[in-house]
Chain A
Amino acid sequence: MNAQLIIDASYLVAAFLFIYGLKRMSSPVTAASGIRVAGLGMLVAVLASFLYVFGVNDAAAPHLNVNVALGAAALALGFGWAWWSGKKVEMTAMPQMVALYNGMGGGAAAAIGAVELFRSSAQHETIPLVVTIIGSLIGAISLSGSLIAWAKLDGRVNGTWRFTGLQLMNGSVFFATLALGLYIAFVEHGHAPVAITAAFFALALVFGVLMTMPIGGADMPVVISLYNAFTGLAVGFEGFVLQNPALMIAGMVVGSAGTLLTLLMAKAMNRSVSNVIFSNFGATGDEGQG
Chain B
Amino acid sequence: MLTGFVALYIFMLAAFTGYEIIGRVPSILHTPLMSGSNFVHGIVVVGALFALLNATSLVEQIIGFFGVLLGAGNAAGGYVVTERMLQMFKSSDKKKA
- Give A residues with C-beta under 8 Å from B: 14, 18-19, 21-23, 25-28, 31-32, 34-36, 38-39, 42, 45-46, 49-50, 52-53, 56-57, 59-60, 63-64, 66-68, 70-71, 73-75, 77-83, 85-87, 89, 91, 94-95, 97-98, 100-102, 104-105, 107-109, 111-112, 114-116, 118-121, 194, 221, 224-225, 228, 231-232, 235-236, 238-240, 242-258, 260-261, 264-265, 268
In the complex, how many angstroms separate the beta carbon of B18 from the nearest chain A beta carbon?
A: 4
Known: A82-B80, A115-B63. A254 touches B37 (CB 8 A): yes
Number of residues of chain B lying within 8 A (CB) of chain A: 79
Complex CA–CA separation, A265 to B33 (angstroms): 11
Cα–Cα distance between A290 and B68 once the two chains are bound (Å)? 41
Determine the residue in chain A with the shortest Cβ distance to B27: A268
Residue interface mask B7-33, A partner, CB < 8 A = 1: 100110011111101110111111111
CA gap between A109 and B83 in the complex, in Å = 24
- Name A256's contact: one of B18, B64, B82, B85 (CB within 8 Å): B18
Q: A26-B29, A38-B36, A268-B30 are in contact. Are A115 and B2 (CB under 8 A)?
A: no
- Chain B: minimal CB distance from A20 (Å): 10
Q: Please tell me which one of the listed residues B10, B18, B87 contacts residue A257 in the complex, with CB atoms under 8 A apart.
A: B18
Contact A82 B49 (CB under 8 A): no
- Does B53 contact A34, Cβ atoms closer than 8 Å? no
**Are A38 and B41 closer than 8 Å at their CB atoms?**
no
Question: In the complex, what's the smallest C-beta–C-beta distance from B67 to chain A, in angstroms?
Answer: 3
Other A-B pairs beyond A225-B30, A247-B43, 12, CB < 8 Å = A32-B89, A60-B54, A67-B64, A68-B53, A78-B76, A82-B77, A83-B77, A98-B34, A105-B38, A118-B59, A239-B47, A242-B51
> In the complex, A261 Cα to B89 Cα: how many Å?
19
Residues of B participating in the A interface, judged by any CB pair closer than 8 Å:
1-2, 7, 10-11, 14-19, 21-23, 25-57, 59-61, 63-90, 93
CB–CB A105/B42 < 8 A: yes
Question: Which of A27, A38, A94, A108 is within 8 Å of B84, CB to CB?
Answer: A94
Given A59-B56, A248-B10: A75 touches B40 (CB 8 Å cut-off): no
Beyond A74-B52, A121-B56, A260-B18, is A28–B26 a contact (Cβ under 8 Å)? Answer: yes
A75 touches B68 (CB 8 A): yes
Docked pose: A64 CA to B26 CA in angstroms: 48
- The answer on a CB contact under 8 Å between B65 and A74 is yes
Known contacts A78-B70, A242-B50, A251 near B43 by CB under 8 Å: yes
- Closest beta carbon of chain B to A147's beta carbon, Å: 11
Set of chain A residues within 8 Å of B7, measured between Cβ atoms: 240, 248
Are B1 and A243 in contact (CB-based, < 8 A)? yes
Among B26, B29, B75, find the residue whose CB has the most chain A CB atoms closer than 10 A: B75
